[in-house]
Amino acid sequence: MEAALVAKILGVVFAIAIAMQGNRPSEDDWRWLDQFRQAALDALMPITGKRLVEYRSYRDLYHDVQERYFTIAYADGPGYDRNRLIATVVVPKGQSIQQQLLNLHMKDLEASFDSLISKVVVRQYVLTTEKCPAIRARLDALSKLTILLPERDVIILHPVVHRMIIDLGVMRLDATIDDQNNSLVRWAAQTLEALVQCTAG
């Protein structure tokens, strides 16, 4: 009786192990994600260079880390009015964009990227200065920011990649930053937090 129970337990454990192995990405799955990662981010979190601020972050090796994204621009209308700003925030719903895309690919290996990216779920929020005064406050904080160049001899393994374009007229900055302690990265994190708080209202 005891031996039969042990055999039954071992059988269940073996079945679970096989099921778990079947859900693990293969080398081909990882290569597929590497091939389409940038296209997925560009489709759902576009960096166009046509706004005052554009920010996106992601981590490639750790694909389960949620991507982060926001933009700040002048609202439509005549002139450039700092009291008429608009911010857009995009956040993955549930799992990260990369994880969702990988899962969808593994379920249907023959599906095209275009058909799969349309199934990735994100939330998009559009905020105005009327609803979210933090937009103007964070832009003012940016204009007072001291920006330091990073050390050249520091190597960071598999960092969070922070992509940012800032165009304030008198200055244009296009940067990819790996240093979490960089003043621009800290500003972006604080700004995103402030904007997300506005979405809760």
Does residue 11 surpass a pLDDT of 90?
A: no
Does the pLDDT of residue 116 top 60, yes or no? yes
- The Cα 127–Cα 125 span in angstroms is 6
Average pLDDT of the segment spanning 24-39: 93
For residue 19, with 0-12 CB atoms within 10 Å meaning exposed, 13-18 middle and 19 or more buried, which class applies?
A: exposed
Which of 53, 68, 193 minimizes the C-alpha distance to 134? Answer: 193
How far is it, in rounded angstroms, from Cα 99 to Cα 64?
Answer: 6
Q: Where are the domains of the chain?
A: 26-149+156-199
Q: How far apart are CA 111 and CA 116, in angstroms?
A: 7
pLDDT in tens, 128-173: 999 999 999 999 999 888 887 766 666 666 789 999 999 987 889 9
The HSE-up count of residue 192 (CA atoms within 13 Å, CB side) is 19
Helix (H) or strand (E) holding 43: helix 27-44
Element (H, E) at 106: helix 97-107
For 60-91, the pLDDT digits (tens) are: 778 889 999 999 999 875 556 777 899 999 99
Instruction: Pick the range with the lowest mean pLDDT from 1-5, 122-126, 175-179.
Output: 1-5
Report the distance separating Cα 58 and Cα 65, nearest Å.
7
DSSP conformational letter for 128? E
Whole-prediction pTM: 0.83
Single-letter code of the amino acid located at 56: R
Q: Which of 42, 45, 41 is nearest to 63 (CA)?
A: 41
Task: Give me the count of residues in the chain.
Answer: 201
